[in-house]
Structure 1
Amino acid sequence: MSTEEYVWRDHVVQKLRERDRKECETFKEIIVQNNRLIDHVAQLKSDNLKLSVENEQLRNAVSTGGTGPNVAIATLEKKLLAQQEELTDLHKRKGEHSQMIVDLNLKVEQQKELIAEREHSLYEQQTANNRLRAEVQLLHSSLEELKKLNTTLLDEHTALQLAFSSLEDKMRNVQDENRYLLERLMRYRAKDADKLNEENESIIRKRSAKLKRDLEDAVREPNSAINQIVPATGSTPLHRNSSPAQFSGTTVSDEEIDEGLINGAMEALGLNDEEYISARFTAGEIGHDLARIGTNMSMETLKAAGYLGQPNPTKILMKFEAHENESHAVRWSPVERMVATGGADRKVKLWDIGKSSTEPRAVLSGSSAGINSVDFDSTGAYILGTSNDYGARVWTVMDNRLRHTLTGHSGKVMAAKYVQEPIKVVTGSHDRTLKIWDLRSIACIETKFAGSSCNDLCTTDSLGSTIISGHYDKKIRFWDIRTEKQADDVLMPAKITSLDLSKDCNYLICSVRDDTIKLLDLRKNQVISTFSNEHFKISCDFARAAFNNCASKIACGSADGAIYIWNVNGFLETTLKGHSTAVNAVSWSPNSNSLASVGKSKRCIIYSDS
């Protein structure tokens, strides 16, 4: 036989012995007791047989008679009695042993049932074990595949990260170059503007001198038209030497005299409205004249002369539901025909105005509370949003991904702006602090304690050297981050809801809760003009007013659903309708004469001049 057959036989013998051991071990004691009882019964049967023989012999002896036999019979009877007692005792013990056997048989049956249950449980456990081993093997294979996939993804991620770093460096270099070129362009423009101003001033001086001489010559002529001016309320000619209060019984007011003088001068010199306005504007007297005679010259005349700047947006270009409930913020992209809005539904949405699409171009999520403000960086690549969850977030416009989450305030964050873009951000909160964040380490590098809730803020230039913040305690605060010193505050008559800065950083508008808008000259650090209207009401504590691109117009929404547009010279140029409820925020397009607005009615409206 071969070695394999011997191994197989030994294995079978070993299994049989193991089976015998398992099956006999439980009944070993019972078998021993049973064998002992069988031996004892055999012994008793042998003794009983002997006694039966002796009994028979004694009976035979009794039947033959004799004294000796009687004694023997008595003795045998005694023995028989003893044997019967012993037999009774043995029967009793046999009954006990039988009962013991029955009990042991019951135990054997119980043990068999227990063994059957354990064998069934063992079979189930073996089946489950086999199944688990198969699952483990499958999981091991899946784990190996996942490890390989993870290695591949890590390699791809590393490659993409390197590519991203390279592109980001290129972008920063391009931004630096763009900033440098912009600064050069601004310097050249400033030089050109200075030259143009010098030329204009010389022309103005010449024209003013000529106009003055012509007026003096006209006044000196005795029969000139200026001495024959008829006031608007009288029929008697007005002479130079006459009293301004009475002419032939007709009373004439100072305003009528001034209006007559202006009209007479225009007739004497052969000037129309536009030419006169031009001459007086160059001499710096147009505001004085209008103040004296009222706005007798029509707005159309002023617009035709070019002193009200570009036309106002009058038509509704688009109207759409921006958010699920109230909309809080709106901002135009600096490079695209695109608008960003933020609302109480915790989302920032981007809208493609150039395509007139009423479906959002992108929905930027990540905030866990309502959005309070949105803003772009100067390149339009990043969008910055603040919310009521005590945080601010930065998204990229290209891929709509959340890049940074800035948390650390203990109150809702109302406003945020880039400083030293794109590496730093400043945020203002209701916790009475301003925080400056480094986006490279995503950490707060400086906290400024203002002492009052901040509703809005702005920065003076791309380097962010000065931060201007408006507060609940009616103060505008100025912060120089280079020296960490605070400049003098400017006190307003009521709490401040918004701030906006002109591009040249010389003028600041401030919307105030007393339903006025203040214009500040930052070179003098004082209020130079106030804009208001009897129907104009600030809608809420975060209502936003805004300059247009060339800082010639100011727009702000009102609680009655209208948008009021003032010229910086003080005129209320127009009122835009469209909203049915209060308007919260407005934003002028930097590249066109368009205006975006949002309000409590969830609606965003885009106004245009064409």
Structure 2
Amino acid sequence: MSTEECVWREHVVQRLRERDRKECENFKEIIVQNNRLIDHVAQLKSDNLKLSVENEQLRNAVSTGGSGSNVAIATLEKKLLAQQEELTDLHKRKGENSQMIVDLNVKVEQQKKLLAEKERSFNEQQTVNNRLRAEVQLLNSSLEELKKLNTTLLDEHTALQLAFSSLEDKMRSVQDENRCLLERLMRYKSKDADKLNEENESIIRKRLPSIFRKRSAKLKRDLEDAVREPNSPNSQTVPAIPHSNSAAQFPIAGSDDDFDEASLNDAMDALKFNGEDFRNPAGDARCDDAARNSAQSIDTLKAAGYLGQPNPTKILMKFEAHENESHAVRWSPVERLVATGGADRKVKLWDIGKGGTEPRAVLSGSSAGINSVDFDSTGAYILGTSNDYGARVWSVMDCRLRQTLTGHSGKVMAAKYVQEPNKVVTGSHDRTLKIWDLRSIACIETKFAGSSCNDLCTTDSLGSTIISGHYDKKIRFWDIRTEKQADDVLMPAKITSLDLSKDCNYLICSVRDDTIKLLDLRKNQVISTFANEHFKVSCDFARASFNSGATKIACGSADGAIYIWNVNGFLETTLKGHSTAVNAVSWSPNSNALASVGKSKRCIIYSDS
């Protein structure tokens, strides 16, 4: 007999023994008791048989006669009756034990079924476990490959970063060299222009001395009339116009003898504006053009702001506004109070009138960074939006959180009062605008824009029209009275902010192509574009701002400077103070002050005095 057959037989025997053990173990006690009862019944039957034999003998004896036998018969009958009762009880117990055996058999069958289900489930789980182990091994191998790939990419990134740094240094050196060459070229051109002007003037003096004197006198009178115009804020003095080659002032008094040829040259030099030289070196036509356009040049200077309200040039206050990057800033409409919002999830109020660097109040309640802040027209409430998909209303008097508006599925970038103080409109990155009723703290209308909203404004105190700027380069107009959308205005790049003039006729729009567009809402078209070679929009939510008279536009740049343009298109000044990109600016509605915040956590207040 082979070894394999012996093993097989032993295995079968062992399984049979195991089966017997499992099937007999549960009924062993019952079987023993049943066997005892059977033995006991057999014994009682034999005793009963003996007693029957004795009973018959006794009956025979009684029939033959005997007085003492009656007592023995009675005794035996009692014993027989007791034995019959015991036999009946044993039969009853036997039936109970039989029923118990049946019940236990049923339970055994149920346990066998449950055991079969458990074994089947165990086999399935074993199969799943094996499959998961295979997947784990596969994922481990993939992880090792990804680690190797990540190491390779990191090395490549380091090499590219070094190459980029080298190229950036080269670019800076080339830019510096280019700047130097441009400055040299401009100096040479200025010298050539001065030389040509001198030659033309000498020719004019030699050929037409009388005409030259008459036109000089006429130019003087035109300049004096322009200075004395009643619309000018200073009708007696005209400030000097800065120029790289001249520091001359407009002559405003004196006789014909005082207004000599040198004074005329100084005035003509001062009329050089925005790269245009009114002394055109073209022979006799030069003097004609200068005399004819002198008054128009003064009007141009006035419109550019040089003869109007001065620009803020001095830093009035500088303080750390937030723990992290600052995103928003807004002046109160009724007092010298500035609200700022930042990535530290707080809105802070700063009392500029007192000049302190500690916040007047800290408004909390947001669970993410603040994106925008705005006051109502009375300055009693402040509205803030947040990255936690909500907007909140605080009261300025007691600095308490009044309402929390939740319902957007993306970060809320802007909010404005509509039909204040009852309604608020919010714009979000979830591509919707929502109008909220502050009395019931519920959204009463949702407008689907189809693109993420970066900023919005309302056209009047009733809020009949909402203007929103979006990521898809469109400005959208919404009339909440008719629930109709007006024609969109398409910009060349995505829109970062909107601001409306007080008369609601003009709208400025900062665009990601590093320009600011001025729109005439009566024509619904762009009428002017503001840009500069050094001006770069700092981020997707950079805020530009009108001043109170809607004559100047301010916007922060990525280089840390603030650029101020006149609405006629002239860059008036550039304010320094920030070391990093400027995120938002806000003009004071009651004074010629400007507030700004940026990535460096700092807030700076500029003033003209």
Cα distance in 2 for partners of 1:534, 1:306 equals 21
Q: Give the alignment partner of residue 221 of structure 2, picking from 271, 292, 308.
A: 271
Aligned to 2:398: 399
Aligned to 1:234: 200
- For the 8 Å contact 1:266–1:276, the answer to whether it is kept is no
Aligned to 2:421: 422
Shift of 1:487: 0.5
User: For residue 267 of structure 1, what is the amino acid of its counterpart?
Assistant: A
- For the 8 Å contact 2:372–2:384, the answer to whether it is kept is yes
Give the 5 Å matches for 1:172-191: none
Query: Are 2:310 and 1:360 aligned?
Result: no
Cα distance in 2 for partners of 1:326, 1:557 equals 15
How many residues align structurally? 357
Give the 5 Å matches for 1:544-559: 544-559=543-558
User: For residue 606 of structure 1, what is the amino acid of its counterpart?
Assistant: I
Identify which range, 296-305 or 373-382, moves more after superposition: 296-305
Shift of 1:590: 0.6
Cα distance in 1 for partners of 2:566, 2:451 equals 32
Aligned to 1:441: 440
Cα distance in 2 for partners of 1:507, 1:262 equals 45
Give the 5 Å matches for 1:552-591: 552-591=551-590
Shift of 1:289: 10
Secondary structure class of the residue paired with 1:271: helix
Residue identity (%): 84
User: For residue 527 of structure 1, what is the amino acid of its counterpart?
Assistant: V
Shift of 1:270: 3.5
Cα distance in 2 for partners of 1:440, 1:423 equals 6
- For the 8 Å contact 1:564–1:574, the answer to whether it is kept is yes
**Cα displacement string for residues 9-55 of structure 1 (whole angstroms, at most 9, x for unaligned residues):** xxxxxxxxxxxxxxxxxxxxxxxxxxxxxxxxxxxxxxxxxxxxxxx
For structure 1, the residue ranges without an aligned partner over 5 or more in a row are 1-229, 240-246, 249-260, 283-287
Secondary structure class of the residue paired with 1:359: coil
Cα distance in 1 for partners of 2:378, 2:303 equals 36
Give the 5 Å matches for 1:124-163: none
Q: Higher Cα Rg: structure 1 or 2?
A: 1
Shift of 1:273: 3.4
**Cα displacement string for residues 498-544 of structure 1 (whole angstroms, at most 9, x for unaligned residues):** 00000000000000000000001111111111111110000000000
Give the 5 Å matches for 1:81-100: none
Shift of 1:571: 1.2
- For the 8 Å contact 1:496–1:541, the answer to whether it is kept is yes
**Cα displacement string for residues 226-274 of structure 1 (whole angstroms, at most 9, x for unaligned residues):** xxxx9554245459xxxxxxx99xxxxxxxxxxxx99974533542635
Cα distance in 1 for partners of 2:278, 2:514 equals 24
**1:330–1:572: structure 2 CA closer, same or farther, 3 Å change rule?**
same
**Cα displacement string for residues 415-460 of structure 1 (whole angstroms, at most 9, x for unaligned residues):** 0000000000000000000000000110000000000000000000
- For the 8 Å contact 1:231–1:238, the answer to whether it is kept is no
Query: Are 2:337 and 1:346 aligned?
Result: no
- For the 8 Å contact 1:308–1:567, the answer to whether it is kept is no
**Cα displacement string for residues 94-117 of structure 1 (whole angstroms, at most 9, x for unaligned residues):** xxxxxxxxxxxxxxxxxxxxxxxx
- For the 8 Å contact 2:428–2:453, the answer to whether it is kept is yes
User: For residue 494 of structure 2, what is the amino acid of its counterpart?
Assistant: K
Aligned to 1:490: 489
**Cα displacement string for residues 527-566 of structure 1 (whole angstroms, at most 9, x for unaligned residues):** 1111111100000000000000000110000000000001
Aligned to 2:515: 516
TM norm structure 1: 0.55
Give the 5 Å matches for 1:7-46: none
- For the 8 Å contact 1:274–1:304, the answer to whether it is kept is no
Identify which range, 364-373 or 296-305, moves more after superposition: 296-305
- For the 8 Å contact 2:491–2:511, the answer to whether it is kept is yes
Aligned to 2:536: 537
Cα distance in 1 for partners of 2:408, 2:341 equals 20
Secondary structure class of the residue paired with 1:541: coil
- For the 8 Å contact 1:453–1:471, the answer to whether it is kept is yes
Aligned to 2:389: 390
Q: Considering only aligned residues, what root-mean-square deviation do their CA atoms show, in Å?
A: 3.1
Secondary structure class of the residue paired with 2:467: strand
Cα distance in 2 for partners of 1:538, 1:394 equals 29
Secondary structure class of the residue paired with 2:529: strand
Cα distance in 2 for partners of 1:473, 1:544 equals 18
- For the 8 Å contact 1:557–1:584, the answer to whether it is kept is yes
TM norm structure 2: 0.55
Cα distance in 2 for partners of 1:515, 1:348 equals 28
- For the 8 Å contact 2:456–2:468, the answer to whether it is kept is yes
- For the 8 Å contact 1:315–1:607, the answer to whether it is kept is yes
Secondary structure class of the residue paired with 1:275: helix
**Cα displacement string for residues 435-491 of structure 1 (whole angstroms, at most 9, x for unaligned residues):** 000001100000000000000000000000000000000000000000000001101
Cα distance in 1 for partners of 2:518, 2:303 equals 26
Secondary structure class of the residue paired with 2:433: strand
Aligned to 1:453: 452
Give the 5 Å matches for 1:211-290: 232-235=198-201, 237=203, 265=215, 267-268=217-218, 270-271=220-221, 273=223, 275-276=225-226
Aligned to 1:466: 465
Secondary structure class of the residue paired with 2:221: coil
